[in-house]
């Protein structure tokens, strides 16, 4: 269960302190970590016999051997290359250290498994509270989900960086449910999602510089009960997809701020096609030239203010009015009127959604 490199680092640290050589063997009597250049004095049959014996420690061929148990089964055997009384004490300490590592890693694995099943709604309500109590996870605290998607298959290095940013393993949990998405279940102080968004910004800034990968991050809402964490995860998942469609300039999408994009994302494709047909009468948004679309988007950004839009586009006011009149003749929509502006804004967003779905369907083929 413990990574071999962790075991190797541990016994090298013990050797530096005690000036004794150590080896760690698995339950099949195979050496998985050692500080010896060549593993002398290792007799497989004798060690196998020791593993199956009732003894917890044994001296063989000038070495002390100590069992490390996981529950009632032998998980590791620690060997120290001396047979004096001091070596026996040091060996017992080393075995205790490996046992402590085993307990810590097992608890982390159990928590990771619990959090995964919690996010995926694989637990009954009674199981959530009983297992969280055993794992010492508070059930009634404020939490929210931050979802990080990378452009390549997930790198364990990213999970390690996240654990370094948020080292309190009793409050924050890092896990993954597929190859590209890493999930942080973060405890927060306030019900407001702004705190969660600030953490997302810290993650983006840190991972962008250290992990050297393309990132997309989304944030669910803050929930007050452990059983609702799965809802926050579903919201973050939706925010991630909706952000890809409508938040092209941003790198963090928050479910609480999706606005009308959340509604459009849940519309059936047939209804979207019908709406586009009614508004544009057979035309497509893509058929409008780039200049028109830039003008419209800037007009919306400036809350339909003609003067401010023309100033930011570095064009004369009359030029902007001409472009708006041209669009009026083409679509029958006067964007200077609020109702028409809303209709055309929704039309653009629905078109973006349809394009996204078509690309997704083509990618699956």
| Res 110: pLDDT | 84
| Res 206: pLDDT | 87
| Res 250: pLDDT | 72
| Res 41: pLDDT | 47
Residue with tokens 């060549």: 38
Q: How wide is the angle at C-alpha 170 spanned by C-alphas 222 and 98, nearest 5°?
A: 155
| Res 154: pLDDT | 56
Could you report the per-residue pLDDT of 212-243, keeping only the tens digit for each?
667 899 999 999 999 999 999 999 999 999 99
Residue with tokens 């995860």: 233
Compute φ and ψ for 319, nearest 5 degrees.
-65, -40
Q: What is the pLDDT along the chain (365 residues), one digit of tens a residue?
A: 678 888 999 999 999 999 999 999 998 888 889 998 765 445 678 888 899 999 999 988 888 999 999 878 898 999 998 878 888 999 999 999 999 988 877 766 788 889 999 999 998 898 899 888 888 899 999 999 999 998 766 555 788 888 888 888 778 999 987 778 899 999 999 888 899 999 999 999 888 777 666 789 999 999 999 999 999 999 999 999 999 998 866 789 999 999 899 999 999 999 999 999 998 887 888 888 888 888 998 999 899 999 999 999 999 999 999 999 988 998 899 999 999 999 999 999 999 999 988 888 887 77
| Res 163: pLDDT | 85
Compute φ and ψ for 272, nearest 5 degrees.
-65, -45
- Domain-wise residue ranges, the chain: 4-104, 125-263, 268-364
DSSP string, 283-343: --GGGS-HHHHHHHHHHHHTTT-HHHHHHHHT--HHHHHHHHHHHHHHHS--TTSHHHHHH
Q: Is 193 helix (H, G, I), strand (E, B) or coil?
A: coil
Separation between Cα atoms, residue 191 and residue 350, nearest integer Å: 32
Residues in CB range of 134: below 8 A, 6 or more apart: none
To the question of pTM greater than 0.75 for the whole model, the response is: no
> Could you tell me the two tokens for 25?
């063997």
CATH superfamily of 125-263: Reverse transcriptase/Diguanylate cyclase domain (3.30.70.270)
Q: What is the third-level CATH fold of 268-364?
A: Arc Repressor Mutant, subunit A (1.10.10)
Q: What is the third-level CATH fold of 4-104?
A: Beta-Lactamase (3.30.450)
Strand partners, 175: 183
Assess contact for 158 and 149: CB atoms under 8 A. Answer: no
Q: What is the mean pLDDT of the chain?
A: 88
Q: How far is CA 346 from the centre of its chain?
A: 31
């Amino acid at each position: 269960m413990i990574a071999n490199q962790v075991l190797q680092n541990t016994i090298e640290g013990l050797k530096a302190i005690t000036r004794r050589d150590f080896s760690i063997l698995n339950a099949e009597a195979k050496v998985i970590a050692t500080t010896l250049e060549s593993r002398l004095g290792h007799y497989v049959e004798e060690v196998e016999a020791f593993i199956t014996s009732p003894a917890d420690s044994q001296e063989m061929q000038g070495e002390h051997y100590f069992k490390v148990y996981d529950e009632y089964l032998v998980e590791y055997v620690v060997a120290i290359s001396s047979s004096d009384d001091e070596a026996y004490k040091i060996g017992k300490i080393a075995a205790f250290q490996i046992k402590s590592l085993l307990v810590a890693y097992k608890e982390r694995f159990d928590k990771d498994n619990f959090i995964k099943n919690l996010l995926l709604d694989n637990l009954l309500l009674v199981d959530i509270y009983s297992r969280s109590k055993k794992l010492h996870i508070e059930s009634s605290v404020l939490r929210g989900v931050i979802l990080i998607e990378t452009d390549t298959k997930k790198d364990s290095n990213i999970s390690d960086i996240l654990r370094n940013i948020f080292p309190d393993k009793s409050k924050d949990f890092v896990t993954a449910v597929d190859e590209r998405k890493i999930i942080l279940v973060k405890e927060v102080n306030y019900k407001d999602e702004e705190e969660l968004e600030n953490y997302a910004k810290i993650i983006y800034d840190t991972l962008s510089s250290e992990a050297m990968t393309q990132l997309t991050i989304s944030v669910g809402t803050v929930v007050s009960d452990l059983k609702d964490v799965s809802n926050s995860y579903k919201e973050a998942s939706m925010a991630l997809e909706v952000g890809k469609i409508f938040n092209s300039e941003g790198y963090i999408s928050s479910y609480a701020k999706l606005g009308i994009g959340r509604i459009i994302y849940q519309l059936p494709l047939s209804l979207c096609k019908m709406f586009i047909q009614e508004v544009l009468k057979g035309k497509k948004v893509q058929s409008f030239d780039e200049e028109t679309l830039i003008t419209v988007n800037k007009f919306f950004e400036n809350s339909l203010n003609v003067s401010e839009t023309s100033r930011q586009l570095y064009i004369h006011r009359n030029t902007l009015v001409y472009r708006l009149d041209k669009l009026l003749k083409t679509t029958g929509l006067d964007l200077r009127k609020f109702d028409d502006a809303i209709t055309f804004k929704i039309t653009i967003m629905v078109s973006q959604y349809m394009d996204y779905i078509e690309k997704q369907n083509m990618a699956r083929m």
